[in-house]
Amino acid sequence: MELIAGAACAREFPDLGTFLVTFAQNADGSGWSFSVQLPLRVTKQDIALGQDTYCVTTSAGPAVYGGIASWELTGDQVEISLEQQAAERLHLSDDHLLFRLPDSAAAAPEIAAGLIRILGTLT
């Protein structure tokens, strides 16, 4: 699956208790989107529920905790490979996602730093 992102960002939202990396179809953030979120605080309940890791969501609504097998940033492209079960739970027809970043890779350093913060270097 390929998305030419109209917007991409990596940002911390202290009031929401999350750090996220997101890719959106349109420059104003509308349309289809894909986000990877990391909680800023983890509770005992989060741990008990298995929600003490990153969460992957789409604008269609589904969410899954964990599920990213690998990621790579090359130039203005971010490739994310999902575990098959995660792709199914997110209702995606493909477990390989390719996001083309806006503005000729100007967002690439911010996105790379955000993905490293959330996922580490999985590749």
pLDDT at 65 over 80: yes
pLDDT at 63 over 70: yes
Q: What's the pLDDT band for 105 if we cut at 50, 70, 90?
A: low
pLDDT at 122 over 60: no
Which residue matches tokens 């750090």? 19
As a whole number of angstroms, the distance between CA 27 and CA 9 comes to 11
As a whole number of angstroms, the distance between CA 25 and CA 84 comes to 23
Cα 80–98–7 angle (5° rounding)?
A: 105
pTM, two decimal places? 0.86
Q: Find the domain containing 47 and state its range.
A: 2-119
Q: What's the pLDDT band for 37 if we cut at 50, 70, 90?
A: very high
What is the SS3 assignment for 83? coil
Spatial contact of 31 and 107, defined as CB atoms under 8 Å apart? no
Instruction: Determine the pLDDT at residue 118.
Output: 93
* Number of structural domains the chain divides into: 1
